[in-house]
Amino acid sequence: MTIKHIARTAAALALLTTPAVAEVDFSGKTIEWVIPFSETGGSAKWANFFAPLLSQELPGQPTVVVKYMPGAGSTKGANWFQEQDHKDGTLLFGTSGSTQFPYLLGDPRVRYEYTEWVPVMASGTGGVAYLNAEDGARFDGSANNLKDVDFIYGSQGATRLDLVPLLAWQMLGMKVEPVFGIKGRGDGRLMFERGEATIDYQTSSAYLGASADLVASGKAVAMMTWGALDEYGTIVRDPTFPDLPTFKEVCEATEGCETSGEAWDAWKAFFVSGFPVQKIAFLPAGTPDEVTETYTKAFEAVRSRPDFAEIAEQEVGKYDMFLGFAAKRATIAGTTVSAEAKAYVLQWLKDAYGVTSLE
């Protein structure tokens, strides 16, 4: 089922009668929105964009404070959230593809279970890969002139969302050496700015916030996006960056890169899992229905603001936002990949980076 079908199904179900729920009032309360990354990345910008808007729409207009709990590529924070027992709606948790991928791959450090959490909002995003100015001058829409370059990349880990760019660059025949261990993609951008890395990628919100300035000033060259999905599940140009080619386009223009076969199918499966449903806001397991419904209505009010599309495009990009039933369906789509895709990626992780602890 495509993301568009999820939205249509949710719209149809919304026409059904919803049972009355008790009123919830957050007057005088503080809501903590915990992000399991550092304050420099796309997830931080995403939460900080929505936090004041959410505060305005929740009954009682509580203060919504974004807090950070980086560590183990977001696994630390997700494991912590799994143990929380807040039922009053004062705790919200935000995840990204870097939280979803360890779950999908069976990482033994994962002690969290997505099916037990309560999603209230999910939104897609994109990603932009870019090069330093010197190597970027050799980019001609293909990677043919980049295959003899030794690139350095600051990475959170090959089993995180970085899986998507790392596999893409390898499929293009590029030599990219990851430096693992950073706490968030924003830290990877800082490595790039200091000259410690020569290639980078950021999700759309982080790219719009800082990396686009590097490109505009000539300090970096945008290479490609990962693309977006149309209603038929076909990869098309990212609506936030329509002038940039997709990885699919660059792959088609690069000798030896194929947009069919096992590698492509695995890459696309994890791209679909990690980007069209890339950031999700959760309430803890056991949250009462009336609290969940209150959050759903508040996020719906945010989405319905007459200026929302404009300010969202500028801050986090032009992507779908899913609420209620659609958020649940989107969460399932974002935390599911085929056995074949998982097997391919596990073998690739072993061959490329010696990762064997996931088997």
Q: Measured between alpha carbons, how far is 75 from 106 in angstroms, rounded to an integer?
A: 12
Is the pLDDT reported for residue 356 higher than 60?
yes
Q: Measured between alpha carbons, how far is 281 from 323 in angstroms, rounded to an integer?
A: 10
Is the pLDDT reported for residue 60 higher than 70?
yes
CA atoms within 13 A on the CB side of 330: 32
pTM: 0.82
CA atoms within 13 A on the CB side of 315: 16
Is the pLDDT reported for residue 301 higher than 50?
yes
Six token digits for residue 106: 């069976």
Is the pLDDT reported for residue 6 higher than 60?
no
pLDDT at 236: 94
Q: Count helices and strands (H / E) in the chain.
A: 15, 13
> Quick one: what percent of the chain has pLDDT higher than 90?
81
Structural domains of the chain sorted by starting position, each given as residue range(s) with its CATH number in brackets: 3-124+274-339 (3.40.190.150), 127-263 (3.40.190.10)
If you write DSSP's letter for every residue of 253-286 in order, what string do you get? Answer: HSTT--SSSHHHHHHHHHHHHHTTT-EEEEEPTT
> pLDDT band for position 132 (50/70/90)?
very high
> Quick one: what percent of the chain has pLDDT higher than 70?
93
Q: Measured between alpha carbons, how far is 158 from 354 in angstroms, rounded to an integer?
A: 10
Determine the average pLDDT of the residues in 242-262.
Answer: 97
Query: Cβ atoms within 10 A of the Cβ of 277, count?
Result: 28
Is the pLDDT reported for residue 262 higher than 80?
yes
